Structure 1
Amino acid sequence: MNAGDVICGREANLDNPNTSEESKQHSREVLDNEYDGGNVDAGSGDKNPNNVARDLKATLNNPKVSDEAKQGAKECLN
């Protein structure tokens, strides 16, 4: 798993209202201790651009996703 995948997963956990505070704290610690607070270039992995775009579009259409996450997905698509 590349750094971008880990960072995206941890940040998604932080934004998820259904995860526990303990889980969110662990994600904060991982981001702070291993990924400079999430400031690693998330595009450094070898992701298929079509798959990324598909996933971002799915985020926009998912009613369970927060408005903040949808805004982030819109920015990434642009």
Structure 2
Amino acid sequence: MLAALYRIEHKSRKWTRRIFFWIISTAMTNAWQLYKRDRKEMPGTCTDTMDLLSFTCQVSQSLCLVNKPIATSRSHSRASSPTPAK
């Protein structure tokens, strides 16, 4: 029932793709249910629970950032001087 709220639209005649997208959708819905349950058990965090669409968007954005380098500013504590050539 919950998986029908936000269906992943895809047109494919291959049954393997249909099964793949159904598995992804079911896994996302189950993960959201676990997220909601865990948020209720945490004190003081019940009001900030994401809906299914927001949760799905957050997970997809996080998966897009996997294996991408994190941009950090490097600050050198000392200036390096060039080594004289011999």
State the TM bucket, normalised to the shorter chain.
Answer: under 0.3
Which has the larger Rg? Answer: 2
Which fold has the larger relative contact order, with Cα–Cα distance below 8 Å and residues 6 or more apart in sequence?
1
TM-score by length of 2: 0.25
Structure number with the higher helix fraction is 1
TM-score by length of 1: 0.28
